[in-house]
Structure 1
């Protein structure tokens, strides 16, 4: 059995209404994504502390799935009319029936981060039994180790942790950095994320790796400072959160920032130089990592 997938570019005023209308008129599913995901124009819509909250991306795309025999074009027209819209630009493609579980698993092989650090999905054999192995399956929360920003942060933890440090992972996603920190010798690790789903995924991943990381929503994060603060988020939240992250870092402690592009290095380094002695940036595939020592 094959399926039809229709992608429709829309703005934030109609995206949710159109997705709901598509479901009401017969779509099997309808999802909304950032039209600029993966580019420098990617928009963070979740409200970090001190930042306004957006409910949806200003430029979005609705991705709808239909059965192979459905009249997808007619359903799109009906849904558009129900929303008071005219003809919509669409991109259509056919998705053939596949073993989606096996297909997804085949896309995720073990990832070697360094000589001693690997990330291995649960369905794979551990490549190196003597290495530090993180068992992490792709899921609903961001962070599997495949993205350059995550690798850059993991490499810093592997190279710089001496043992016994307290670590804060701000924007923990899957919890991968907090979990890795503990497996690399940190004394304690706390993660924080604005997404309840990320907190659940992080707790599950910590249990899977037999580490005692703690994960919180921002409002429930305990007071205190940390030896190491890692924030692998986007440039705009990093701009807004500098003072808060600095206040969470002990004097003489270290900060690690990623999620920014090469061309944003100077700006972000200058912002954090208010509180930290910033080190030279490290880059990979157009992405950058900054680090500094708290004065």
Structure 2
């Protein structure tokens, strides 16, 4: 089925009146892009972000836009014609108060939304043993001699999570490959798609627990585990904030051989005083997601909390530390 993607440009003050106008004219589901809200989100959630892509910031510059979708059929075009007429009346009534109110549109197909993004993800060798395989690439990998002897890690991340291509994930996977030799217990803090904890299990860890503040991770991580033949007898995923939830920390327990956290600098600094409660004596703390401009700050926080940094890895402007 084909769809019409319709954009209406406005200003920040016009977003709410325009949304009400659209709802009154039969458009109930909209997407709002707004620079002011974007900047407010970054400021109010700075602990989760050390780096914001410059292209993303540039794309939001001066933007206040509402987007919605109509079927590209007779009914959809009829509704579009009605909206054009009604929008002109809305524009005349408010005389420039809400920006240009310019309407533009594109044609889209379901297949574009559902599948085109997959073309950018291919099998990827990491370290000496791991081969990360997007689920839809499994058939292309079979029988290829160059992948012989590799430990396959199959992922179906959906549009929400990546497949390990980011430098921070690769740094962690390389460290895990060195740390896991068989029989270990692993805790993954900020698990996302589950890639790190599932990789540890594929490399030979006996069991793993994973936790994330995003409840979407619960479904995605379990689905990825199942793709790799890993059941809930070896793998547990929980939802919550380890930094603020004492009951969650109790549930996670202790005695792990390895704790891994691929998050951001502020969260790792917050974790530095508490991670030992999860580890067995002499256990390993692997942390990544540290942008280069804050690597020294994180290293200082780790050392101030008694951690010895055994190995430092870096790549593409990001750092990871292996600590005991």
Give the TM interval when normalised to the shorter protein. 0.7 to 0.9
Which residue of 2 is the match for residue 56 of structure 1?
none
2:243 matched residue in structure 1: none
Matched with 2:54 is: none
Tell me, what secondary structure is at the counterpart of 2:131? strand
Q: Which moved more, 1:227-236 or 1:114-123?
A: 114-123
Larger Rg: 1 or 2?
2
Q: Is the 8 A contact 1:143 1:150 kept in 2?
A: no
Q: Structure 2: which 5+ residue stretches go unaligned?
A: 50-61, 241-246
The 8 Å contact of residues 19 and 30 in structure 1, kept in 2 or not, is answered as no
- Which of 63, 67, 73 aligns to 1:64? It is 67
Rounded to whole Å, the distance in 1 between the matches of 2:88 and 2:170 is: 41
What is the Cα deviation at residue 189 of structure 1?
1.0
Shift of 1:231: 0.5
> Is the counterpart of residue 239 in structure 1 residue 242 in structure 2?
no
Q: For structure 1, which runs of at least 5 residues remain unmatched after alignment? A: 47-58
Match of 1:173 in 2: 192
Aligned pairs for 1:1-295 (under 5 A) are 1=2, 3-4=4-5, 6=7, 21=20, 24=23, 26=27, 29-30=30-31, 35=38, 43=46, 64-67=67-70, 70=80, 86-87=98-99, 94=106, 96-97=108-109, 99-100=111-112, 101-124=114-137, 125=139, 126=141, 128-139=147-158, 141-211=160-230, 212-218=234-240, 219-220=247-248, 221-273=251-303, 274-293=305-324
Q: In the alignment, which residue of structure 1 is the partner of 2:52? A: none
Secondary structure in 1 aligned to 2:136?
coil
**Number of equivalences:** 274
Asked if the contact 1:265/1:281 (under 8 Å) is kept, the reply is: no
CA distance in structure 2 between the aligned counterparts of 1:224 and 1:205, rounded to whole angstroms:
25
RMSD value, Cα: 4.1
Shift of the 74–193 alpha-carbon distance from structure 1 to 2, 3 Å rule, reads farther
Are 2:185 and 2:206, in contact at CA under 8 Å, matched by a contact in 1? yes
Deviation at 1:188, TM superposition (A): 1.5
Partner Cα distance (2:102, 2:157) in 1: 29
Deviation of 1:133 (Å): 0.4
**Conservation of the 8 A alpha-carbon contact between 2:11 and 2:63:** yes
Contact 1:141/1:201 (8 A) holds in 2: no
Deviation at 1:275, TM superposition (A): 2.5
- TM-superposed deviation, 1:292: 0.8
- Could you list the per-position Cα deviations for residues 6-28 of structure 1 after superposition, in whole angstroms to 9, with x for gaps in the alignment? 497988x998x689658735265
Give the conservation status (yes or no) of the 8 Å contact 1:174–1:201. Answer: yes
CA contact (8 A) 1:143 1:174 kept: yes
- Matched residues in 2 for 1:227 and 1:95: separation? 52
Paired with 1:65 and 1:202, the residues of 2 have a C-alpha distance of 31
CA–CA distance in structure 2, aligned partners of residues 223 and 77 of structure 1? 62
Q: For 2:48 and 2:100, locate their aligned partners in 1 and report how far apart those are by CA, in whole Å.
A: 25
Please say if residues 188 and 259 of structure 2, whose CA atoms lie closer than 8 Å, have aligned partners that are also in contact. Answer: yes
Matches of 1:77 and 1:174, distance apart in 2:
47
Q: Distance in 2 between matches of 1:281 and 1:222?
A: 27
> Relative to 1, partners in 2 of residues 1:143 and 1:108: Cα closer, same or farther, differing over 3 Å?
closer
The structure in which a higher percent of residues are helix is 2
- Specify the alignment match of 1:50 in structure 2: none
